Amino acid sequence: MAKLREIRRRIEVALLIAIGAVILIVLFVSALYWITPIQRWTIQRVLAVTGAPVHLDFDKLRFGIDFIRADNLLLYVHTEDKGFLIRADSLRARFEFKCRLVHNLEIYRPRVSIGDMEGPKSSREHVGGFNLPDFQIDTLFITDGEMDAGNFSLRELFCKGSFTSAGKSISFYPDSLEVFLPHRGVINNAVGKVVLNSGIVIELDLVLNRSELSVEGVIESFDPLAWRFKAGGEKIDLAEVDSLLSLGFLIGDGHAEIDLSGTKDTVAGDVFIDGSIYNIQAGNTSTYLHFKNRKLRLSSLKGMLWGAPVDATLEMSFPKEKGAGHIDMVIDGYIGNLDLNSFLPDGGVPSNISGRAHVVGKIVDKLVFMAIRGDLGPGSIFGINFDAATGSVYVAPDSILFFPGFEVLRGGNLLTMNGIIVYKGEIYIEFGVWAPNISKLADIVGLEEVIGGRARLENSEILGSVKEPILSIEIVSDSLVTSFVEHSSFHGEATIYNLIDAPRGNVYIESEGAFGELTYDSLLTNIEICGNRYYIKPFLCWGDKLSAKGIAEIYASPESTGICAEGLELVFLGKPVSLESTFTVGIVGDTIRSTDLFIGTLGGLIEIKNLQGDKDNLTLNADFENLQLAHLAEFIPVESISGHLSGDLFLTMPYDYAGAHGSYYIRFDDTEINGLQWQRAEAEGSIHDGIVDVQPLVIDRESEKYTLRGWIDPNSDSLPFSFEINGRGERFDAFSSFVEEVDSAIGPFDFTLSIAGTSDSLFAEGKLDWRQGILGLKSLADPVESLSLGLSLVGNWIVIDTFGGTIGALPVESKSLWARVKRIFTRQKKEYGDFSAMGDIDISNPAEPELDITFKTNNLPLNFPENGIFTRADADLAITGGKPVLISGTVEMDNANIVKLETDGGESGTLPVELNIVLEIPGNVWVLTDMLEAEIKGKINFLTEQKALALYGELKVVRGKAFFYGRTFHIEEGSIYFESIERINPRLDLRAVSKAGNVDIVLNITGNLETPQIALSVRDNSGEIADYDQKDILSLLALNTPVDGRDSLGYENILQERLPQVLQNYITHGVENVARTTLGVETFEFEPSEEDALDLSEANVTIGKYLTDRLYLKYTRSLNFEDSASDVINLEYRLTDHISLDGHRKTSVEDGNEYRLDLKFNWDY
């Protein structure tokens, strides 16, 4: 029982103790919840036991198992190197303590201080080795927060986000954030992450007042300050970023990417900008940036500055205090297409500068001052283009200065200048030019009409003020070409005051040159400029083709313009032109008025009356009196012209001539053209809408008359026109007067031609009828008789309906010796033949007409006295094709006498036509030259190869003689070969013999006609070649005997004996050559007397001539015409090519008439 009571007592005591403990705990907890001092003491004891470097204080605290509320909260956390002091007006939180999770934390007006500071002693006794407990805040609200961290502070922080703590790191993830950063700017919103540990790490998307950018940054330490900042965005104001980072040098806006790091005094990193920087337009520009001690260096600067590509280094020095002083800058590197106006406020220097340059300048209140030095490539300045430039120029907002030595190269021309231009003040520029090609500088020196030549500008300057500049210039040239004048020598000087508003001064010009083809030896003039008046006094020009003198006054103003000229005398192409009175023309507003203009020229007078106009039209009357046509002979395509021209013209026209209206009448008196007198020549017509009507033009004489009607529109570039031309008469003298080859054209003719089209296309139709005409040609000794020509023109075709005629010619002109022979046997009469042609010509392309014509001749005699040729020929030719024309067919020569067979040794030349003609020579054609007298036959092909004449064929010698070494050689056989196109020079192969005693001297001719090769040999009676050396052959030629075995005395006797024979040979050869050429015969032989070679009265003459193509007559007679002299006549008739009959008659006083008939056979092999 006692034990039970003891146990019971112990239980009761324990129960009382427990109840007391519970009461004590309840009392403590109640006190802890309601009594603030107990709360402070309890929390501080707990923090002291845990060793946390944290001090916490508050005015009022309420908490529960999952919430806490505190007012006037103070929290101090001391880490190893920094202290964090946080004050807040109130704090509200809901949490799960076991999970260290705060669901919701609201802090009102927190004030955070970071850095070295005096905190509660208890918090500083446990410094080091402390990590903040890990916890997490899902939703954090901060209202009107502040923070101070030495060099960095913020105010008016409003944010919402989440928060975590891990060890010494605190991370904040704002969903929205607004904050004011004193002296830096305002962040209107921020989303991302902020981590606080020993520094601050930032990853945010920021919205500022003028910028939106993404930021990655870190503040590694606050003291000393060390940070890195990386940001970018499409719309960034660099000044805002500069203020945010408190850099003090970034200015600009646009798309930017920056990656910078720095300390309190230094910033470095990469920058990309597409916008502007330092008030400089920058496009896609990147650089490496370095900033220290208020000096900025942008190395490897690439992109666009001031709208110009750059690859350079930019250095800038900023004033010590922001906004005070100016910014110095230096640019070194490549600059392309820089326009200085891009940073000049008044745009006074339009330019385009490219090249390696060194620029030193400064920026003052957004104004740029700079000095540029370098070697520049192609560009421009003041609108002046150049290929290259070198030197230095200083550019300021109000002026530009060219340093001495500034040179500009343009088109191989050199321009040098130095001086200063103050845009609203003074100007002084010295300049000079050396221009091998002055046309490349024409716009610079104010000579836009210059198109070539070279010149120097010397002693040239512009001075005075910008408003009233003075120009002084001197130009010297030995070759200056303008649109109107080509100066072979030019010297000009000009001094002009007040160049812009009211210029005054003098211009002096000395020149030698030409106006087109009109040359002059000297031109002198002095032009005095007085405001809007220009006095030319005097103007002097003289030369062989152009001379002039006179004075004039020109005035020009916005209201009126006028010219007054007097005393003008002009010699134009040798023709005097004079101004017969003072002429004045004035333009006031839209009205033009003038005095009558009297011009004396071409031996007559031109009077222009009532010249007047308004804004739309110009009206004039002109009279022409007795202008001498002889003065126009050298300007129109005629050999000679004479007569007088008179007429009148009335015209009203717009200033571009289109739509002109008027009338004209022209009369030609006593007109003679190319020696042909015309009784009447006149034209009249009208002008409407710029189109000239001819109604009609008439020119006639007793035997022929021509009229032209139609119109032409000179207004149009294509020159459309339509004309109808008619002509008829009994003689076609106009044809012979204009066509040089025609001597005369007789016979009735009638033609009509209608032609229309433009300069690019043509349509024509018409007809020509010429019957029983007689046409005399200069190249033929005999005229074309019974000429019949009928042509029709239809569209693009010329149709030859009929074209033919006959030619009659005497075979040989009458000569005394030959006439005697002809009178014995026959009467001389003309030989007739005819020709005809038919076909058509396609002229759809006038430059390359297409022909299809056949041309035939029948036994046509042709006599060419100048060439010594008479022949009869049958031809059948086809003329076809366009460019080139093909002439093909056959020509057969019935007989001919050719006394010239020569070659010039040159090329055959280029032929304008294609040839394929066969020339057939059956015989009876004689070649008579100094070396050869022979009858030939054969066939030759005339072809065109490689645009040159090619001759192929062979001519055989039927009979003949060759003349060498004073002897006559009778041709035994021979051929002439044509086989080359390179040279018209036939190959020869001839063998001829001459009797010398009882042997024959054989002459072999080879080579070609230009350089024949001659070989001599001796043949005995048996026909074998004898053994003779050249000395013996030469002796045979001269003496008819060899020299071997002869003593000197005997040799001299033989030489004396043979001398008359040698002389005879040379005399015979010389006389024969002259006679053949003069008489026109095939054979002429002269045989001196054997007794006395020099007694020509005893010589015999033999003449041979073809009477027909088969009948050959040879006549021999002594030059002693006494009755005792004998005549010998041989008549040969060729039966075939190999058989002929030879009739012989010899008449003498002693023997009477002797007759013989032989049958001859000839075989060629």
Classify strands 546-556 and 560-572 as parallel, antiparallel or unpaired.
Answer: antiparallel
CA distance 481 to 448: 11
CA distance 28 to 21: 10
In angstroms, the Cα distances linking 400 to 200, 344, 371, 381, 445 are 52, 11, 10, 11, 20
Comparing 2-16, 444-458, 816-830, the range with the smallest average pLDDT is 816-830
Last residue within a domain, chosen from 180, 209, 238: 209
Q: What is the mean pLDDT of residues 597-604?
A: 82
Is 1114 part of a structural domain of the chain? yes
Query: In the numeric block, which tokens belong to residue 567?
Result: 């005393």
Q: What is the mean pLDDT of residues 239-260?
A: 76
Comparing 380-389, 694-703, 785-794, the range with the smallest average pLDDT is 380-389
Residue 117: give the domain boundaries: 35-209
% the chain with pLDDT above 90: 2
Indicate the pLDDT class of residue 1027, thresholds 50, 70 and 90. Answer: confident
Is 869 part of a structural domain of the chain? no
Query: In the numeric block, which tokens belong to residue 796?
Result: 């693009």
pLDDT at position 1058 over 50: no
Q: Are 147 and 112 in contact (CB under 8 A)?
A: yes
Query: In the numeric block, which tokens belong to residue 493?
Result: 């000087």
Q: Are 1107 and 1113 in contact (CB under 8 A)?
A: yes
Comparing 541-555, 589-603, 824-838, the range with the smallest average pLDDT is 824-838
Last residue within a domain, chosen from 209, 244, 268: 209
Name the helix (H) or strand (E) containing 1071: helix 1048-1079
Is 503 part of a structural domain of the chain? no
pLDDT at position 1141 over 80: no
Tell me the helix, strand and coil percentages in the chain, rounded to 5: 10, 65, 25
Q: Are 514 and 521 in contact (CB under 8 A)?
A: no
**What DSSP designation does 439 have?**
G
Q: How many other C-beta atoms are found inside a 10 Å radius of the C-beta of residue 924?
A: 23
Helix (H, G, I), strand (E, B) or coil at 819: helix
Give the residue with greater pLDDT, 828 vs 135. Answer: 135
Residues 6+ apart with CB under 8 A from 95: 66, 67, 68, 101, 102, 103
Please state the pTM of the whole predicted model: 0.46
Comparing 122-136, 773-787, 880-894, 915-929, the range with the smallest average pLDDT is 122-136
End-to-end Cα, the chain, rounded Å: 189
pLDDT at position 707 over 90: yes
Length of the chain: 1165
Q: What is the mean pLDDT of residues 838-853?
A: 84
Is 1149 part of a structural domain of the chain? yes
Name the helix (H) or strand (E) containing 1094: none
In angstroms, the Cα distances linking 162 to 149, 180, 270 are 22, 21, 33
pLDDT at position 138 over 80: yes
Closest CA to 1140 of 1156, 1157, 1155, 1161: 1161
Please give the pLDDT value at position 1052: 44
Indicate the pLDDT class of residue 1145, thresholds 50, 70 and 90. Answer: confident
Name the helix (H) or strand (E) containing 1034: helix 1030-1039
Q: What is the mean pLDDT of residues 272-299?
A: 81
Q: Are 187 and 211 in contact (CB under 8 A)?
A: no
Classify strands 885-898 and 913-928 as parallel, antiparallel or unpaired.
Answer: parallel
Please give the pLDDT value at position 571: 72
Residue type at 355?
A: G
Residue with the two structure tokens 């008659």: 1145
| Number of structural domains the chain divides into | 2
Q: What is the mean pLDDT of residues 914-928?
A: 83
pLDDT tens for 822-832 read 444 455 577 78
Residue with the two structure tokens 């146990």: 7
Indicate the pLDDT class of residue 1076, thresholds 50, 70 and 90. Answer: very low
pLDDT at position 145 over 80: yes
pLDDT at position 28 over 50: no
Name the helix (H) or strand (E) containing 241: helix 238-245
Q: Are 549 and 532 in contact (CB under 8 A)?
A: no
CA distance 1143 to 7: 203
Closest CA to 455 of 469, 429, 473: 473
Please give the pLDDT value at position 1098: 64
From start to end of 702-830, where are the E strands?
704-712, 721-731, 742-757, 762-777, 784-794, 797-809
Comparing 612-626, 678-692, 804-818, the range with the smallest average pLDDT is 804-818
Please give the pLDDT value at position 732: 83
Helix (H, G, I), strand (E, B) or coil at 613: strand
Query: In the numeric block, which tokens belong to residue 694?
Result: 């001819």
Q: Are 929 and 958 in contact (CB under 8 A)?
A: no
Please give the pLDDT value at position 710: 92
CA distance 611 to 628: 25
CA distance 733 to 744: 7
Is 748 part of a structural domain of the chain? no
Closest CA to 256 of 225, 228, 224, 289: 289
Question: If you average pLDDT over each of 122-136, 412-426, 764-778, which comes out highest?
Answer: 764-778
Q: Are 934 and 967 in contact (CB under 8 A)?
A: no
- The b/e string for 840-863 (b: 16+ C-beta within 10 A; e otherwise) is bbebeeeeebbbebebbbeebbbb
Query: In the numeric block, which tokens belong to residue 665?
Result: 């009448």
pLDDT at position 363 over 80: no
Q: pLDDT averaged over the chain?
A: 76
Maximum distance among all Cα pairs of the chain, rounded to whole angstroms: 229
SS3 of 110-164: the string is CEEEEECCCCCHHHHCCCCCCCEEEEEEEEEEEEEEEEEECCEEEEEEEEEEEEE
Residue type at 252?
A: G
pLDDT tens for 152-205 read 788 888 888 888 887 777 888 888 888 888 878 888 888 888 887 777 888 888
Please give the pLDDT value at position 814: 36
Indicate the pLDDT class of residue 1078, thresholds 50, 70 and 90. Answer: very low
Residue type at 122?
A: S
- At what angle are helices 2-34 and 36-50 packed, to 10 degrees? 100
Name the helix (H) or strand (E) containing 483: none
Please give the pLDDT value at position 466: 74
Phi-psi region of 717 (alpha: psi -120 to 50; beta: other; left: phi over 0): alpha
Last residue within a domain, chosen from 160, 184, 209: 209
Q: Are 233 and 246 in contact (CB under 8 A)?
A: no
Closest CA to 372 of 326, 340, 415: 340
Name the helix (H) or strand (E) containing 1100: strand 1100-1106
Is 202 part of a structural domain of the chain? yes
